[in-house]
């Protein structure tokens, strides 16, 4: 099967340059920076004398233009693409985050590529920049080479430190005294007995290094005592797991006429959907200007959508194990963690890939080839009705456009999907897979805070919280968010049989009353409506956010980890759009004690009615680990839907044609 998939990709997979524009073609204002733009931005900063030779570049990404400079009304099918090098087009700017390790300082710069100048340069007071890719690698090398770490490894019978995997983790607010003033990480260690073993099968218990990543020095090493390495190998590769099953017959996805979508540069058109893609080091894939073409005009739905944080708290309270939590967007960057899909067989059928370019520590651009995957999927039944009297049947199949990227965050994979449907719906889904994080148990030791997934191997219970930032623009820039619950009507004169129930809709008028949680037993959903637009029936044009499975954090409200991730204490937040309000746990969560981002901004309790609103949805995956999650976890899925509700006059999916082999009637 694997070989078959690969063949499909080679034959049909046609890689876009990601840049997709000829030399003469100016970029669209929302196109991510390409390699030469990244290089130039860094050059301009260097020439202006702003950075030292030790500077480490955290990110060099597009400084997105003001909304007023972006035309959201994309042209209809066949018309020329707007915004390309038009005279009033905004200049290209780079947003650069730099760590100066010698100064223990983090700087932000805006660099104009149009005028080759530094537009702004500022020290971010108190910020500890995220851990860069180079620092991550250097921290691993340094820890392996440290004499105290080596002595600790030897006490555990490990004499080949090269086969030790070192994972630097954000230390949060678990620092005191002098350490609290430094930019530090702490490490988890794992061991591959054979070079092709799964390292998470042999967690090296109780041995941790605290590393100053500015000075690149091991600050201290803690050894809590030896717990034997668990006996297993955790192998999962095909050549390690014994005979593979051979009873699945080929299932091919064939699209003889190619895909139904079109990719031009970073613009995507599929069915009536029109959108643009972006990408940056911190958030990975970004959707821009998502609109739906309806009777010849493109109606806006979302101005911008991205995963703005990904937070994982763990349940195990033991020393150091209680430190385990991660802010993958803010402490590292999920764009940086994005996999090249060249390595795998992750999508089926007619695939288009987009390459992206990011900056390394020295500011040099490097590509992630095939970082974004676009393909279509048959999605079963869209709608059907049998007229029993006429003995006729009308059936339509559902098709969806899938835009995805996959990150590897140490042990874990997150495959992130945006689905666009032919009935005007949008779905967000994340598939969680990879290897669960482990620690060792002494023989006979048990724990309430995880599941023993292999002998002496504990996979701690944990949660994953994604904050999805949805800068909504339903049928225009000004929207109101309503909470809709369903209530049972008390029996009485208006409800003599007691069967009555009805939706109750109330506007969320200010930020503090818009901090909400799901309530499945009330059928709760949230409507993002344009109060100035109605359909033919008089309904406000709206999209509704329909939660799927969800959960809240179980850490104590006062716990340091909760304080750093207050966004995860609510499922819904609504804020008035502010260009600099981008990240729910603040701009620099690394070593931040908490309170930044959503909890800080919303203290002002700003009005949010009939204004340009940003909806923040917290999506929680609750992971009570299972034996079956080991040694590699079958994907767990979680997500939510955005569905039109009063946006159209009737089902927008009536004109979907029946599948060719499918004859309506009889
Ligand atoms: Cu999990």
pLDDT tens, 48-105? 999 999 999 999 999 999 999 998 854 444 444 444 444 467 799 999 999 999 999 9
Backbone torsions φ then ψ of 134, nearest 5 degrees: -65, -40
Contact 515, 550 (CB under 8 A): no
Known active-site residue 587: no
Task: For residue 663, name the pLDDT band (cuts at 50, 70, 90).
Answer: low
- Rounded to an integer, the average pLDDT of 205-226 is 97
The mean of the pLDDT values for the chain is 93
- Reported confidence tier of residue 32, pLDDT bands at 50, 70, 90: very high
Query: What is the average pLDDT across 215-225?
Result: 97
The model's confidence at residue 342, banded by pLDDT at 50, 70 and 90, is confident
Instruction: Provide the 3-class DSSP secondary structure of residue 510.
Output: strand
- Interaxial angle between packed helices 133-145 and 147-155, expressed in degrees from 0 to 180 and rounded to the nearest 10: 60
CB 560 within 8 A of CB 174: yes
Catalytic residue from among 83, 328, 612, 629: 328
The tens digit of pLDDT for each residue in 155-209 reads: 999 999 999 999 999 999 999 988 999 999 999 999 999 999 999 999 999 999 9
CA of 326 to the centre of ligand 1 (A): 12
Please name the residue ranges forming H helices in 73-124: none
Question: What is the SS3 assignment for 11?
Answer: helix
- pLDDT interval class at 348 (50, 70, 90): confident
State the pLDDT at residue 555. 97
Neighbours of ion ligand 1 (CB under 5 A): 623
Report CA(462)–ligand 1 centroid distance (Å). Answer: 6
Model confidence pLDDT, tens digit, residues 463-515: 999 999 999 999 999 999 999 999 999 999 999 999 999 999 999 999 999 99
Q: How many CB atoms lie within 10 A of CB 397?
A: 17
- Listed in sequence order, the residues at least 6 apart from 463 whose beta carbon sits closer than 8 Å to its beta carbon are 312, 313, 551, 553, 554, 620, 621, 622, 623
| β-strands 572-576, 613-623 pairing | antiparallel
- The one-character DSSP state at 22 is -
| Angle made by CA atoms 204, 209, 211, in degrees to the nearest 5 | 145
Question: How much is the pLDDT for 660?
Answer: 82
Query: 302 pairs with which residues across the strands?
Result: 290, 472
Which run of H or E residues covers position 10? helix 2-12
Q: Are the C-beta atoms of residues 386 and 393 closer than 8 Å to each other?
A: yes
Confidence (pTM): 0.94
The mean pLDDT of 534-538, rounded to a whole number, is 97
Cα of 613 vs centre of ligand 1, distance in Å, is 31
Given a cut of 80, whether residue 1 has pLDDT beyond it is: no
Compute φ and ψ for 201, nearest 5 degrees: -75, -20
Residue 636 Cα, ligand 1 centroid: separation in angstroms?
A: 8
Closest CA to 73 of 296, 260, 252, 222: 296
Instruction: Exactly one of 191, 412, 414, 482 is catalytic; name it.
Output: 412
Q: Three-state SS string across 527-541, please?
A: EEEEEEEECCCCCEE
Q: Which residues pair with 454 in a beta bridge?
A: 457
Residue 317 CA to ligand 1 center (angstroms) comes to 17
Whole-number Å distance, alpha carbon 106 to ligand 1 midpoint, is 32
Q: Give the bridge partners for 615, in sequence order.
A: 470, 574
In sequence order, which residues have a C-beta less than 8 Å from that of residue 597 and are 6 or more positions away? 566, 567, 581, 583, 584, 585, 586, 587
Q: Say which range, 14-28, 294-308, 406-420, has the weakest mean pLDDT.
A: 14-28
Is pLDDT at 572 greater than 50 in this prediction?
yes
pLDDT at 88: 62
Report d(CA 529, CA 633) in Å as an integer. Answer: 39
- For residue 621, the model assigns a pLDDT of 98
User: What is the CA 501 to chain-centroid distance, rounded?
Assistant: 37
Encode pLDDT of 282-327 as tens digits.
999 999 999 999 999 999 999 999 999 999 999 999 999 999 999 9
| 3-state SS, one letter per residue, for 559-607 | CHHHHHCHHHHCCEEEEECCCCCCCCCCCCCCCCCCCCCHHHHHHHCCE
Alpha-carbon distances, residue 10 vs 2, 260, 355 (angstroms): 12, 19, 16
**Helix intervals (H) in 156-298:** 177-180
Instruction: For the beta carbon of residue 645, count every other beta carbon within 10 angstroms.
Output: 22
**Residue located via tokens 């909760």:** 562
- Assigned token pair, 176: 């005191």
DSSP state of 331: I
Q: Are 146 and 221 in contact (CB under 8 A)?
A: yes
| Higher per-residue confidence, 317 vs 19 | 317
Tokens read off for 393: 């049947």
Q: What is the DSSP letter of 498?
A: S
DSSP 3: H
Q: How far apart are CA 302 and CA 277, in angstroms?
A: 12
pLDDT digits (tens, 9 = 90+) for 255-287: 999 999 999 999 999 999 999 999 999 999 999
**Residue 412 is among the residues annotated as catalytic for this protein:** yes
Q: Which residue(s) pair with 616 in the sheet?
A: 469, 573
Kindly state the tokens that stand for 44.
């301009």
110 exposed, middle or buried (CB, 10 Å; 0-12, 13-18, 19+)? Answer: middle
Distance CA 194, CA 45 (A): 46
Percent of the chain with pLDDT over 70: 93
Report residue 615 as tokens. Answer: 């909806």
Query: 230: burial class by Cβ within 10 Å (0-12, 13-18, 19+)?
Result: buried
Q: Is the peptide bond before 477 cis (omega within 30 degrees of 0)?
A: no
Report how far apart the first and last C-alpha atoms of the chain are (Å, whole number).
Answer: 37
Higher-confidence residue: 71 or 619?
619
What's the pLDDT score for residue 524? Answer: 98
Contact 428, 640 (CB under 8 A): yes
For residue 324, the CA-to-ligand 1 centroid distance in Å is 13
φ, ψ for residue 613, nearest 5 deg: -105, 150
Side-chain-side CA neighbours of residue 548 (13 Å): 15
Ligand 1 centre and the CA of 315: distance in Å? 11
SS3 assignment, position 36: helix
Ligand 1 mean position, distance from CA 463 (Å): 6
pLDDT at 665: 44
Determine the Cα–Cα distance for residues 424 and 273; give it in Å rounded to an integer.
8
What's CA 490's distance to the chain center, in Å?
A: 43
State the pLDDT at residue 541: 98
């Amino acid at each position: 099967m694997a070989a078959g998939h690969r063949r499909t990709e080679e034959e049909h997979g046609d890689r876009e340059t990601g840049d997709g524009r000829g030399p003469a073609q100016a970029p669209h204002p929302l196109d991510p920076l390409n390699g030469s733009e990244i290089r130039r931005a860094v050059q301009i900063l260097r020439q202006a004398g702003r950075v030292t030779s030790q500077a480490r570049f955290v990110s060099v990404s597009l400084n997105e233009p003001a909304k007023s400079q972006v035309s959201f009304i994309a042209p209809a099918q066949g018309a020329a693409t707007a915004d390309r090098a038009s005279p009033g087009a905004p200049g290209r700017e780079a947003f650069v985050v730099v760590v100066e390790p010698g100064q223990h300082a983090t700087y932000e710069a805006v660099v104009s590529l149009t005028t080759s100048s530094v537009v702004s340069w500022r020290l971010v007071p108190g910020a500890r920049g995220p851990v860069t890719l180079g620092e991550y690698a250097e921290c691993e090398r340094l820890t392996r080479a440290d004499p105290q770490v080596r002595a600790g490894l030897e006490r555990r019978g490990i004499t080949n430190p090269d086969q030790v995997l070192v994972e630097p983790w954000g230390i949060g607010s678990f620092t005191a005294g002098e350490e609290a003033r430094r930019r530090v990480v702490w490490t988890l260690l794992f061991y591959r007995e054979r070079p092709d073993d799964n390292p998470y099968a042999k967690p090296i218990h109780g041995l941790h290094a605290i590393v100053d990543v500015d000075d690149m020095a091991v600050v201290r090493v803690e050894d809590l005592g030896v717990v034997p390495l668990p006996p297993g190998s955790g192998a999962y590769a095909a050549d390690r797991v014994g005979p593979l099953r051979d009873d699945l017959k080929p299932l091919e996805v064939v699209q003889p006429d190619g895909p139904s979508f079109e990719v031009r540069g970073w613009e995507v058109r599929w069915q009536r959907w029109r959108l643009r893609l972006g990408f940056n080091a911190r958030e990975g894939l970004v959707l821009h200007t998502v609109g739906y073409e309806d009777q010849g005009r493109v109606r806006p739905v979302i101005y911008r959508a991205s995963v703005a944080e990904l937070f994982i708290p763990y349940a195990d309270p033991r020393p150091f194990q209680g430190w385990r939590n991660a802010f993958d967007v803010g402490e590292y960057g999920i764009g940086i963690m994005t996999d090249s899909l060249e390595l795998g067989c992750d999508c089926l059928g007619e695939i288009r890939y987009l390459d992206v370019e990011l900056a390394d520590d020295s500011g040099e651009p490097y590509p992630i080839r095939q970082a974004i995957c676009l393909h279509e999927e048959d999605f079963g039944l869209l709608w059907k009705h049998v007229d029993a009297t006429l003995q006729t049947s009308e059936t339509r199949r559902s098709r969806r456009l899938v835009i995805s990227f996959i990150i590897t965050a140490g042990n874990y994979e997150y495959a992130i999907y945006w689905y666009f449907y032919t009935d005007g719906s949008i779905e967000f889904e994340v598939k969680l897979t990879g290897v669960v994080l482990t620690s060792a148990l002494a023989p006979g030791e048990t724990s309430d805070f995880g599941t023993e997934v292999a002998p002496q191997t504990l996979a701690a219970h944990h949660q994953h919280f994604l904050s999805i930032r949805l800068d909504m623009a339903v049928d225009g820039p000004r929207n109101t968010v309503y909470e809709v619950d369903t209530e049972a009507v008390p029996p009485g004169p208006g409800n003599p049989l007691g069967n009555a129930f009805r939706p109750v809709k109330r506007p969320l008028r200010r930020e503090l009353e818009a901090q909400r949680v799901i309530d499945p037993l009330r059928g709760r959903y949230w409507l993002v409506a344009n109060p100035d637009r109605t359909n033919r029936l008089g309904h406000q044009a709206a999209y509704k956010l329909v939660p799927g499975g969800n959960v809240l954090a179980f850490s104590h409200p006062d716990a340091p980890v909760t304080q750093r991730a207050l966004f995860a204490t609510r499922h819904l937040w609504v804020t008035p759009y502010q260009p600099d309000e981008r990240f729910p746990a603040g701009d620099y969560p690394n070593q931040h004690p908490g309170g930044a981002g959503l909890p800080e901004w919303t203290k002002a309790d700003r009005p949010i009615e009939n204004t340009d609103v940003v909806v923040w949805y917290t999506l929680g995956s609750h992971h009570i680990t299972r034996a079956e999650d080991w040694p590699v976890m079958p994907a767990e899925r979680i997500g939510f839907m955005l569905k039109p509700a009063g946006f159209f006059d009737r089902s927008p999916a009536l004109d979907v044609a029946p599948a060719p082999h499918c004859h309506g009637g009889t």
